Structure 1
Amino acid sequence: MSNIPAQREFFLDSIRAWLMLLGIPFHISLIYSSHHWHVNSNEPTWWLTLFNDFIHAFRMQVFFVISGYFSYMLFLRYSRAKWWKIRVERVGIPMLTAVALLTLPQFLMLQYVSGKSERWPQLGFYEKYNTLVWELVSHLWFLLVLVILTTLGVFLFRRLNQHAVAKNTFSMIKLSALFLVFGVIWASLRRALLIVYLPILSDGLFNFTIMQTLLYLPFFMLGAVVFKYPALKMRFITPSPGCYFGSALAFAAYLLNQRYGNGAGWMYETECLILMLMGLWMTNVVFSLGYRFLNTHSPGVTYFVNASLFIYLVHHPLTLAFGAFITPHIPSNTLGFLAGLVFVIGIALILYELHLRVPLLRFLFSGKPQARRVNAPACNEICRQVNVGDTNRR
Structure 2
Amino acid sequence: MNRANTMPDAAAPVAARPPREHFWDTLRAVLMLLGIPYHVALSYMAGRQWIVKSGEGVTGFIELARFISLFRMPAFFLIAGYFAAMLLARRAPGTWLEGRFRRLAIPLVTSIVVLVPVMNWFCEISNLPYSQAVASWIDNSSKSGGYWVRHLWFIIVLLYFCCAIAALALWKRDFAQARLPGWADRLVGRHMVIALLMLATVVGLWEALAVEAFYIWGLNTNLIQEILRVDQAIIYAPWFAMGCFLQRSREGVARVMRYSHAVVVLAALAVVLAIITKEMVHPALFRFIETFAALMMTQLLISLAAHLFDRPIPAVQRFTAASFVIYLFHLPLICGLVFAGQYVKLPPLVKALGVMGLTLAISYGAWLLIERSKVLALLFDGGMRPAPVAPAR
Of 344, 351, 365, the match for 1:336: 351
Q: Quote the residue 1:39 is aligned against.
A: 52
Q: Which residue of 1 aligns with 2:326?
A: 311
User: Does the residue aligned with 2:57 lie in a helix, a strand or coil?
Assistant: coil
Q: For residues 204 and 278 of structure 1, what CA distance do their matches in structure 2 show?
A: 31
Q: Secondary structure at the match of 2:54?
A: coil
Is the CA contact 1:10–1:296 (under 8 Å) kept in the aligned structure 2? yes
Q: Summarize deviations over 1:190-212 as a string: whole Å, max 9, x none.
A: 33343343xx3253642553211
Partners in 2 of 1:245 and 1:33 — Cα distance? 28
Whole-angstrom distance in 1 between the partners of 2:345 and 2:288: 38
Question: Is the contact between residue 89 and residue 368 of structure 1 (CA under 8 Å) also seen in structure 2?
Answer: yes
Q: Does 1:79 align with 2:92?
A: yes
Instruction: Please say if 1:286 is aligned against 2:307.
Output: no
Per-residue deviation at 1:120? 6.3
Give CA-to-partner distance per residue, 1:327-354, whole Å, 9 cap, x none: 4524412101111122212221222222
In the other structure, the counterpart of 2:383 is 368
Work out the CA distance in 2 between the residues paired with 1:242 and 1:272: 22
Looking at structure 1, the residues matched to 69 and 216 of structure 2 have their Cα atoms a distance apart, in angstroms, of 27
- Does the aligned pair in 2 maintain the 1:84–1:154 contact within 8 Å? yes
Give the corresponding residue for 1:350: 365
Tell me if 1:118 matches 2:135.
yes
Distance 1:43 1:370, change over 3 A: closer
Percent sequence identity over aligned pairs: 26
Within 1, Cα distance between the matches of 2:21 and 2:103? 19
AA of the residue aligned to 1:188:
L
Residue identity matched to 2:155: L
Pairing 1:201–2:229 present:
no
Deviation per CA, 1:80-134, whole angstroms, max 9, x where unpaired? Answer: 111111122211111111111111222234334433432567x6xxx76651x21
Alignment partners' CA distance in 2, 1:54 and 1:11 = 22
Greater CA drift, 233-242 or 139-148: 233-242
What is the RMSD computed on CA atoms of the aligned residues? 2.4
Q: Matched residues in 2 for 1:11 and 1:293: separation?
A: 8
- Alignment partners' CA distance in 2, 1:164 and 1:347: 44
Given that residues 28 and 340 in structure 1 are in contact (C-alpha distance below 8 angstroms), is that contact kept between their aligned partners in structure 2?
Answer: yes
Measure the CA separation in 2 of the matches of 1:252 and 1:102. 36
Equivalent positions of 1:158-307 (< 5 A) are 161=175, 162=178, 164-165=180-181, 166=183, 167-170=185-188, 171=191, 172-197=193-218, 200-203=219-222, 205-206=224-225, 208-261=228-281, 266-267=282-283, 269-307=284-322
1-side partners of 2:43 and 2:67: how far apart?
Answer: 15
Is the CA contact (8 Å cut-off) linking 1:90 and 1:366 kept in structure 2?
yes
C-alpha change, 1:211 and 1:129, in structure 2 (3 Å) is: farther
Describe the shift of the 1:76–1:330 C-alpha distance in structure 2 as closer, same or farther (beyond 3 A): farther
Structure 2 CA distance for partners of 1:260 and 1:154, relative to 1, 3 Å:
same
CA positional deviation for 1:50: 2.2
The alpha-carbon deviation at position 174 of structure 1 amounts to 3.4
Asked whether the equivalents of residues 226 and 233 of structure 1 are also in contact (C-alpha less than 8 Å), the reply is yes
- Find the aligned partners of 1:3 and 1:330 in 2 and give their Cα distance: 61
Classify the secondary structure of the residue corresponding to 1:3: coil
Q: Secondary structure at 2:60's aligned position in 1?
A: helix
Report which stretch shifted further, 316-325 or 343-352: 343-352
Residue identity in the other structure for 1:17: A
Change (3 A) 1:307 1:17: same
Cross-structure match for 1:374: none
The Cα shift of 1:315 comes to 0.9
1-structure distance, mates of 2:123, 2:55: 18
Q: State the aligned residue count.
A: 359
Partners of 1:102 and 1:213 lie apart in 2 by: 24
- C-alpha distance in structure 2 between counterparts of 1:94 and 1:106, whole Å: 16
Counterpart CA distance in 2 for 1:283 and 1:342 is: 26
Of residues 23, 27, 40, the one that matches 1:28 is 40
Give the partner amino acid of 1:254. Answer: A
Contact 1:20-1:312 at 8 Å conserved across structures: yes
Bigger drift between 322-331 and 247-256 goes to: 322-331
Counterparts of 2:136 and 2:154, CA distance in 1: 30
Structure 1 or 2: more helix by fraction: 1
* Matched AA of 1:201: N
Q: TM-score, normalised by structure 2?
A: 0.84
Q: 1:137 to 1:276 in 2, by over 3 A?
A: same
Give the structure 2 partner of residue 151 of structure 1: 163
Q: Is the 8 A contact 1:41 1:328 kept in 2?
A: no
For the pair shown, which has the larger CA radius of gyration, 1 or 2? Answer: 1
Amino acid at match of 1:252: V
Match of 2:114 among 101, 105, 119: 101
* Matched-pair contact (CA < 8 Å) for 1:310–1:365: yes
Q: How far apart are 1:370 and its partner, in Å? A: 8.1
- CA-to-partner distance for each residue in 1:251-299, whole Å, 9 max, x for gaps? 11111222424xxxx22x1232123222221121001111111112122
The residue type paired with residue 73 of structure 1 is: M
CA distances 1:135-166 after superposition (whole Å, capped 9, x unpaired): 21111111111100101112445659356422
Question: Which secondary structure does the structure 2 equivalent of 1:182 belong to?
Answer: helix
1:134 pairs with 2:146:
yes
Cα 1:98/1:204, change in 2 over 3 Å: same
Query: How much has 1:186 moved relative to structure 2?
Result: 2.8
Does the aligned pair in 1 maintain the 2:121–2:137 contact within 8 Å? no
